[in-house]
Chains A and B, each alone.
Chain A
Amino acid sequence: MLYKDIDFTLTAGNILYVQGANGTGKTTLLRTLCGLSKPLRGTIDWCGTSIYALNEDYARDLLYLGHQAGLQDDLTPLENLAFLLALAGEDMDDKQARQVLETLGLKQVLHLPVRFLSQGQKRRVSLARLWMQNALLWILDEPYAALDTEAIRLLELRIKQFSEEGGIVVMTSHQALAMQTGQLKHLSLDNSFEH
């Protein structure tokens, strides 16, 4: 057993910031919230219904970005994003996609296979979905990893904006959050951790 007695409720606009030392199960918790892993005991509800009963209806509202963001090395950023958005049932608007990638500083690498991009650039490509995909709940595993300060600033702005629009964010990060918003909640796994 990794942890017990975790209980929280998030409402529109909330940002849950999951903290904990390495190995305390932050990623496991996020994957459980997505429905990828199942908890031994307990329930996870979305709008009052268990996520296992909702299944695809839950998936429609969810956007999950894990450590591995599902980028195919041999395809370009645009091709990758078009595929990931298609999985969410959306037909990518090409113009908007280019705009978002330009904002994220990827104009020069639009036509390069992702293989040639740096870690930070790959991260930016996968994060571009946050500007393009319809969702009510974001579950972000270490979204700041490998990003430079400018990208972190853009991402924080986007998260704040999403929260103000009524979106819910669950995220982990090692670094202290610079964001100042009343909607921020903290969850520390250090105390729930079972040794």
Chain B
Amino acid sequence: MSTLNQNLPMHKLLYRVFMHDIRVALRRQSDVVAVFFFFIIATSLFPLGTGVDQKLLMAMAPSVLWVMALLSCMLSLPRMFSNDYANGALEQIVLSNQPTILLILMKIFAHWVLSGLPLVLIAPVIGLQFNLNTDALIVLAESLMIGTLALSLIGSIGAALTLGLRGAGILIAILVLPLYIPVLVFGAGAVGAIAIGMSSNGAFSLLGAVLAIALVVAPVATTFAIKIALE
């Protein structure tokens, strides 16, 4: 019996890999939803705890929202590859006749769509609780858009390095949080600048630079780490 399968063009293959992760996540919604609600609840605690001081709240808003976005992203990191590692799919990805690095990049991108993008969409709503004005809310969403993508990319290195280790969750935090600092500084900086009426262009440029570097370095490092983990 010979196979009837057609050859799959590269772009379709990459789309399949991406959709595979999305589909798995949709069948197992609790993981994605939990992180999303963590972000909502954790950020909502601050306005409740701060009381009536609106100026203080506004001043805190950029850093609080950004730190919580950072922690939410980190919470979802252990899941990025561990499932595929346990069931052997990662081996099949590495043994695929397509460039491993592109397949891994698709997985990172899927992770961002599932964990970063929801934060981008809900953050402006949460920002309202902090009394942020419209300009600041828009900048908040924009900076999170660039920033969370960088977080997923940088985080993938930590997720790959801790594959198969016990206590991977806390180890990822220790490995990845220091690397997240530039994203936090420039991301919160962009929102902070616009909130006090200054231009956020500088912070945005630097945030974009961090993303560009992460986009080049992270997939290479992650692929390398995954190959080591599978050896």
Q: Report which A residues bind B (CB closer than 8 A).
A: 34-38, 56-57, 59-60, 62, 64, 66-75, 79, 82-93, 95-96, 113, 131-134, 161
Contact = CB atoms under 8 A, between A and B. Distances in A.
Given A72-B24, A74-B27, A83-B16, A91 B7 contact: yes
A85 B5 CA distance: 9
B88 A34 contact: no
Contacts of A161: 1
A75 B23 CA distance: 8
B103 A89 contact: no
Contacts of A64: 91-92, 95
B204 to A, nearest CB: 37
A127 to B, nearest CB: 14
Majority-rule SS of B interface residues: helix
Nearest to A32: B231
B214 to A, nearest CB: 25
Contact of A89 (B4, B13, B27, B230): B13
Interface string B74-95: 0000000001101111111111
Given A75-B23, A86-B16, A87-B103, A36 B95 contact: yes
Contacts of B7: 89-91
Contacts of A133: 3, 5
Given A64-B95, A68-B88, A96-B4, 14 more contacts: A36-B91, A56-B97, A56-B99, A64-B91, A71-B88, A72-B24, A72-B83, A85-B5, A86-B17, A87-B98, A93-B3, A93-B6, A96-B5, A131-B1
B125 to A, nearest CB: 30
Contacts of B96: 56, 59, 87-89
A-B pairs, 9 with minimum CB distance: A68-B88, A74-B27, A70-B89, A93-B4, A60-B97, A90-B5, A59-B97, A87-B96, A86-B16
A36 B88 CA distance: 12
